[in-house]
Amino acid sequence: MSTFRRVTRITSCLCILALLAFAVPDTATAQERGSILPRVSPNASISQSIGVTTIDVHYGRPAVRDRDVFGSLVPYGDVWRTGANEATAIAFSTPVTIQGTTVDAGTYSFFTVPGEDEWTIILNDTVEQWGAYNYDESKDVVRVTAEPESGPMHERLTFGFSNITDTSATLTLMWDETHVPLDISLDTRDIIAERGDTAVETAENRQVPLRYAGYALQNDLLTEKALTWVDASLQMEETFPGLAVKARLQAKNGSYDAAIQTAERAVEIANAMDEAPRGLDGLTSDLEEWRTR
């Protein structure tokens, strides 16, 4: 091959390689840039336990940046992703009630339709959507309404929980000076009753049913059903803690004669131990009180 032809071929190859370099994106560089550059509206999450239920909210946090937000940047009457980037998502570990409407456990997209005097809150079955561009009303699971309120300024969109009890909480959307509270409630009693029965049926040691019985005693909840749980524990092994819990449950239910008998057996077991168990003094005091009734 002549020198001219070799030079021509090398030159052609170099040109092709150069064209490929421009045509094919630098994936590694693109990924690296994507991982180090911050989003204009950073993502955030908030999680809250209510009784035995967990609620998680994942959302993007746009900023006001001296803009008119509701009625302008976010138009009234249009479906909104309720944040930025991906549509906001909300997850419930158990069934809950929002604004009086029951919602099954699961994960949902959280859309809203802002209004000057009333907002529509939408839970949609299609999650991991980008914005509201592919929003499908036929996939709506729940639609409820809420009244917006004026409140302290929030530069970035914020979700927060307040008024938390074992059976309820308020989830509030806050952006600019607009606050939209949502009342959430749940039947902790029924959830614990169901879980307790299941746990007792499958328990492999005495501690499992005893924990459920102890929770019921401490919270003055399901005290009659809790007697079956503590009995399941005592059938596996008769212990001072189990008898103490049972005696107090019997007293809670007004069965003082039975409580005295159970407590006396607990004290008998405690006295036979090498070291006095924790709670003996308290049970002895309760026993003396029950004997005076």
3-state DSSP assignment of residue 66 = coil
Interval 274-290 mean pLDDT: 94
Range with the poorest average pLDDT among 25-34, 79-88, 100-109, 114-123: 25-34
| pLDDT at residue number 83 | 92
What's the average model confidence in pLDDT over 162-188? 96
Res 128: pLDDT? 80
- Please give the domain boundaries of the chain with CATH numbers for all domains: 43-185 (no CATH), 188-291 (1.25.40.10)
Q: Is 16 helix (H, G, I), strand (E, B) or coil?
A: helix
CA angle (43, 48, 52) in 5-degree steps: 145
pLDDT at position 245 is: 97
Q: What is the pTM of this model?
A: 0.75
Going by their DSSP bridges, the two strands 53-60 and 89-92 should be labelled as: antiparallel
- pLDDT of residue 12 exceeding 80, the answer is no
Helix, coil or strand: residue 176: strand
Mapped onto helix, strand or coil, the DSSP state of residue 29 is helix
The amino acid occupying position 17 is L
d(CA 62, CA 285): 59
Residue 96 CB burial class (10 angstroms; 0-12, 13-18, ≥19): buried
Q: How far is CA 54 from CA 21, 169, 230, in A?
A: 50, 11, 27
CA atoms within 13 A on the CB side of 10: 7
How many CB atoms within 10 Å of residue 183? 15
Question: Quick one: average pLDDT of 113-130?
Answer: 93
The predicted pLDDT at position 27 comes to 38
pLDDT of residue 130: 81
Residue carrying structure tokens 């045509």:
23
Share of the chain above pLDDT 90, in %: 74
- The predicted pLDDT at position 86 comes to 86
Range 36-56 average pLDDT: 89
pLDDT computed for residue 18 by the predictor? 42
Question: First CA to last CA across the chain, in angstroms?
Answer: 117
Q: Confidence class of residue 35 from pLDDT cuts 50, 70 and 90?
A: low
Asked if the model's pLDDT at residue 53 lies above 90, the reply is: yes
Residue 3 has pLDDT above 50, yes or no: no
Check if the beta carbon of residue 195 is closer than 8 Å to that of residue 172.
Answer: no
